[in-house]
């Protein structure tokens, strides 16, 4: 029986017996509302119950009134009449004033007592009538009693205490009022009465539980709704997003203050406007098309970023929406949210700009260049219309960067970009590939257009560049241009890059400051160079390198004072390869360092066999002068071959000092400390400057062969240059060696101009070390 009276599980989790039976705490607002709803349901059933009560009373009086003295029925009838009259008056009053939404604890229990008194009045009737009625009339009265009990239980279904009182009073009276031995006094009748009473009580409890659960759920939803409204208000006031609602035709039906502020229009102007009318169709792209399709097909959409023009300002909105339906499932429009993502969009555009364009010059970067190159090549191959690629390399940018700083270098690069943009027209792409390297893609590379453009670039970039506030009027940098054409020279992006690079390499190898178109011979030369690179690595191990020695002669007595060591490569298949062909390769690959160590060691090994007054000169490249192990190696070689340091002369060129690298100055200091001699080679060519002579303790200046040749052929002007160099050297206590003395006339001219030593074919061509050793022995003083 206890299980029958337990509340449903989902309700019992939140409601207990005390709340169900007593309608909660007296001072609680929610339970006051629950009690008010319980009484509201009861009041709704009052008219029917009063009518039922009147009918029952009339039937009872007609059937059973004569059998019982009226005095016995009077109290019960008076109770029925009084309660009916009271409820009727109360219903009329509440009908005028309206039913209150809440009820106090005391009022709830007073009504409970009133309903319970109905059960007591009916029980009094049963005690008055059942003992005096025959069995058939007893059965009829009991049926009426069950009807009355059911009606009252249904009317007060949400007031279980009242139902319990009515059911208990009537059921008990029905059984207790039967006279002993009556036919209805049967156990089965008692069982039926008890079962009926429990069913009605269970129904009342279940109804009460369900009603209270529904009211509690409604209250929770109301609280949640209040929270949601507060959050939405906060969201609208402080959030960056806004809410929007559309009808089935895509027109705005609800415009929040935030939305109106973002749209920069009054709310009244926006209501009724199609959402699509706010969007710029010319810039909307795929997102605008997707939004129009979603609105037309009643499909949800999410984070569609569309452009919205607001005066001269173009904003970007991210829109999301979900279709909404009415109770019958009909589509009624959209409910969604919008967000201004203009700054995010601009940030993305800036990131994309940085990813595809050079931040210094604004030109395309290597990534965008590569994409464009593939597209240009594909279209040129497909159409048969040639395109061209030009590589532009600044000739003397490093000198500007090292001499005036990176700020000046950056300023110059921006000017180069501006000049290139002024020269290149017609849909071409200009890119900065890195450092001082630029590339130009010409979609139309037909005829002599690339050649003419390359020539204009060389000419325009040869003009001086101002260097801002560096204090220098202008820097002459110059440029070299190599170019190739597709499909004539190449048919893939990689091969086109290789061809243009080979053309640029050809220009730089020939002296820079010019333009050159790719040719097949360049590919052959490149293949030859690649072979030399591979073979040179094994040349040392396979004894393919050898030294030759050219005499240096005293101009006064024509005695040999020393030899210059000259490197030769005897390739087993290609024959003797001159230094001009393989030394640049050795420098580019770094092989010049171990080769240089070998040259110094071999030169000192042969010098050890010569007389003490005979020196040996060895050329050092700029790459070797960054080898921190060079002083240690030279010192070890001098000790190993027992050659004094003053017999070794290192020849270096002026270009070594242009970069002003600390490591070079440090190495010069360490080599000077060893007691070595230094000769400044090729003086008078390239970047000759008097300051160069102060960078090292030079003992000799070597006058380039070009001056000797011109002096022999032209006379006074060229001779004056040699004489000036000789005087400069003498003032600095330096000797001078004139290279290229191939004739007696050249020798006598150089001697007369004051040169202390000469070197050239007149006194000996480069010779094997054995021959040089024999020559020194023959000429050595006795």
* Max mean pLDDT range (344-348, 695-699, 743-747): 743-747
Percent of the chain past pLDDT 70, that is, above it, reads 77
Whole-number pLDDT of residue 180: 58
pLDDT at residue 68 is higher than 90: no
Which residues make Cβ contacts (< 8 Å) with residue 736, sequence separation at least 6?
700, 701, 702, 703, 725, 726, 729, 730, 754, 755, 756, 757
Whole-number pLDDT of residue 688: 52
CA distance 436 to 408: 13
Which of 40-44, 360-364, 408-412, 570-574 is least confident? Answer: 40-44
Taken in order 594, 596, 600, 606, is the CA torsion positive or negative? positive
| Chain region(s) in the chain for CATH 3.20.20.450 | 536-779
Whole-number pLDDT of residue 499: 94
pLDDT at residue 171 is higher than 80: no
| Banded model confidence at residue 769, pLDDT cuts 50, 70, 90 | very high
Which of 3-17, 372-386, 456-470, 616-630 is least confident? Answer: 3-17
| Banded model confidence at residue 71, pLDDT cuts 50, 70, 90 | low
pLDDT at residue 185 is higher than 70: no
Whole-number pLDDT of residue 262: 86
Whole-number pLDDT of residue 645: 95
| Chain region(s) in the chain for CATH 3.30.70.270 | 357-518
pLDDT at residue 513 is higher than 80: yes
Whole-number pLDDT of residue 528: 83
Look up the CATH architecture of domain 357-518: 2-Layer Sandwich (3.30)
pLDDT at residue 9 is higher than 50: no
CA distance 770 to 766: 12
In tens, the pLDDT along 557-609 reads 999 999 999 999 999 999 999 898 899 889 888 899 999 999 999 999 999 99
Whole-number pLDDT of residue 782: 42
Residue 716: φ, ψ to 5°: -60, -50
Q: Contact at 8 Å (CB) between 255 and 271?
A: yes
| Banded model confidence at residue 356, pLDDT cuts 50, 70, 90 | confident
In tens, the pLDDT along 645-691 reads 999 999 988 777 665 677 888 888 899 999 999 999 877 665 555 65
Structure token digits, residue 215:
């009211």
| Banded model confidence at residue 346, pLDDT cuts 50, 70, 90 | confident
Q: Say which residue, 36 or 712, is predicted with more confidence.
A: 712
Structure token digits, residue 765:
């061509």
- Mean pLDDT for 508-525 is 87
Whole-number pLDDT of residue 484: 95
In terms of DSSP H, where are the helices of 573-696?
A: 579-589, 592-607, 630-641, 662-673
| Banded model confidence at residue 702, pLDDT cuts 50, 70, 90 | very high
Whole-number pLDDT of residue 11: 42
Q: The domain 239-348 is classified under which CATH number: 3.30.70.120, 3.30.450.20, 3.40.50.1980, 3.30.360.10?
A: 3.30.450.20
Helix (H) or strand (E) holding 682: strand 677-683
Whole-number pLDDT of residue 600: 96
Pairing of strands 331-340, 387-394: unpaired
Domain 536-779 grouped into CATH 3.40.190.10: no
Which residues make Cβ contacts (< 8 Å) with residue 126, sequence separation at least 6?
141, 145, 170, 173, 174, 177
- Mean pLDDT for 26-51 is 66
Taken in order 513, 517, 523, 528, is the CA torsion positive or negative? negative
- Mean pLDDT for 480-493 is 93
In tens, the pLDDT along 134-162 reads 777 777 777 777 777 777 777 776 677 77
Q: What is the mean pLDDT of the chain?
A: 81
| Banded model confidence at residue 17, pLDDT cuts 50, 70, 90 | low
Q: Contact at 8 Å (CB) between 674 and 633?
A: no
Whole-number pLDDT of residue 4: 40
Q: What is 208-252 written as a DSSP string?
A: HHHHHHHHHHHHHHHHHHHHHHHHHHHHHHH-SEEEEEEETTSBE
Q: What is 122-190 written as a DSSP string?
A: HHHHHHHHGGGS-HHHHHHHHHHHHHHHHHHHHHTTT-HHHHHHHHHHHHHHHHHTSPTT-TT--HHHH
Length of the chain: 782
| Chain region(s) in the chain for CATH 3.30.450.20 | 239-348
| Banded model confidence at residue 634, pLDDT cuts 50, 70, 90 | very high
Percent of the chain past pLDDT 90, that is, above it, reads 33
Nearest to 424 by CA among 447, 457, 451: 457
Residue 311 has what DSSP assignment? T
Burial letters 333-356, b for 16+ CB under 10 A, else e = bbebbbbbbbeebeeeeeeeeeee
Helix (H) or strand (E) holding 114: helix 105-129
Whole-number pLDDT of residue 5: 41
- Mean pLDDT for 217-234 is 57
């Amino acid at each position: 029986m206890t299980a029958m009276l337990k509340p449903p599980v989902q309700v019992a989790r939140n409601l207990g017996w005390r709340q169900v039976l007593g309608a909660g705490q007296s001072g609680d607002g929610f339970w006051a509302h629950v009690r008010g709803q319980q009484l509201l349901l009861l009041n709704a059933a009052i008219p029917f119950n009063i009518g039922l009560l009147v009918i029952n009373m009339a039937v009872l009086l007609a059937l059973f009134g004569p059998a019982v003295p009226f005095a016995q029925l009077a109290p019960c009838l008076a109770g029925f009449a009084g309660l009916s009259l009271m409820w009727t008056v109360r219903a009329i009053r509440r009908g005028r004033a309206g039913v209150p939404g809440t009820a106090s604890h005391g009022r709830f229990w007073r009504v409970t007592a009133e309903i319970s008194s109905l059960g007591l009045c009916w029980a009094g009737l049963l005690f008055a009538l059942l003992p005096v009625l025959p069995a058939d009339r007893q059965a009829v009265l009991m049926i009426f009693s069950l009807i009355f009990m059911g009606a009252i239980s249904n009317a007060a279904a949400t007031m279980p205490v009242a139902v319990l009182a009515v059911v208990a009073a009537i059921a008990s009276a029905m059984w207790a009022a039967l006279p002993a031995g009556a036919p209805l006094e049967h156990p089965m009748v008692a069982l039926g009465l008890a079962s009926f009473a429990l069913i009605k009580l269970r129904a009342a409890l279940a109804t009460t539980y369900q009603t209270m659960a529904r009211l509690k759920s409604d209250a929770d939803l109301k609280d949640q709704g209040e929270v949601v409204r507060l959050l939405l208000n906060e969201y609208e006031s402080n959030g960056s997003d806004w809410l929007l609602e559309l009808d089935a035709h895509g027109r705005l039906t609800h415009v929040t203050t935030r939305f109106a502020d973002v749209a920069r229009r009054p709310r009244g102007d926006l209501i009724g406007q199609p959402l699509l009318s706010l969007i710029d169709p010319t810039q909307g792209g795929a997102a605008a098309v997707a939004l129009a399709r979603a609105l037309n097909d009643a499909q949800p959409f999410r984070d569609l970023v569309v452009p919205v023009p607001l005066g001269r300002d173009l904003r970007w909105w991210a829109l999301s929406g979900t279709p909404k339906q009415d109770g019958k499932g009909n589509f009624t429009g959209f409910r969604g949210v919008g967000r201004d993502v203009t700054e995010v969009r601009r940030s993305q555009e800036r990131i994309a700009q940085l990813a595809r364009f050079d931040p210094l010059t604004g030109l395309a970067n290597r990534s965008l260049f590569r994409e464009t190159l593939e597209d240009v090549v594909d279209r040129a191959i497909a159409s048969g219309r040639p395109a061209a690629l030009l590589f532009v390399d600044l000739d003397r940018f490093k000198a500007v960067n090292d001499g005036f700083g990176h700020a000046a270098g950056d300023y110059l690069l921006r000017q180069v970009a501006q000049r290139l943009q002024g020269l290149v027209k017609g849909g071409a792409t200009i890119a900065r590939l890195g450092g001082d390297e630029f590339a130009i893609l010409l979609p139309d590379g037909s005829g002599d257009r690339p050649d003419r453009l390359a020539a204009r670039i060389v000419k325009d970039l040869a003009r001086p560049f101002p260097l801002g506030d560096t204090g220098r009027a202008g820097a002459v940098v110059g440029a070299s241009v190599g170019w190739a054409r597709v499909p004539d020279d190449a048919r893939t992006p990689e091969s086109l890059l290789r061809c243009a690079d080979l053309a640029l390499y050809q220009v730089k190898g020939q002296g820079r400051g010019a333009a050159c178109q790719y040719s097949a011979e360049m590919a052959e030369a490149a293949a030859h160079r690649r072979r030399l690179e591979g073979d040179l690595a094994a040349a040392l191990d396979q004894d393919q390198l050898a030294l030759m020695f050219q005499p240096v002669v005293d101009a006064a007595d024509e005695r040999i004072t020393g030899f210059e060591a000259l490197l030769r490569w005897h390739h087993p298949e290609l024959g003797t390869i001159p230094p001009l062909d393989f030394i640049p390769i050795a420098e580019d690959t770094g092989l010049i360092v171990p080769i240089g160590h070998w040259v110094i060691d071999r030169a000192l090994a042969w010098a050890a066999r010569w007389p003490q007054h005979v020196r040996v000169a060895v050329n050092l490249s700029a790459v070797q002068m960054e080898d921190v192990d060079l002083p240690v190696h030279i010192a070890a070689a001098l000790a190993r071959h027992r050659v004094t340091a003053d017999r070794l002369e290192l020849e270096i060129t002026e270009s070594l000092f242009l970069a002003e690298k600390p490591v070079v100055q440090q190495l010069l200091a360490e080599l000077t400390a060893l007691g070595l001699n230094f000769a400044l080679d090729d003086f008078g060519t390239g970047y000759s400057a008097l300051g160069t002579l102060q960078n090292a303790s030079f003992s000799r200046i070597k006058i380039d062969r070009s001056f000797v040749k011109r002096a022999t052929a032209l006379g006074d002007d060229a001779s004056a240059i040699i004489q000036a160099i000789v005087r400069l050297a003498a003032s600095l206590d330096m000797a001078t060696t004139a290279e290229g003395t191939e004739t007696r006339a050249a020798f006598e001219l150089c001697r007369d101009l004051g040169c202390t030593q000469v070197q050239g074919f007149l006194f000996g061509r480069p010779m094997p070390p054995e021959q040089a050793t024999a020559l020194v022995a023959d000429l050595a003083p006795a």
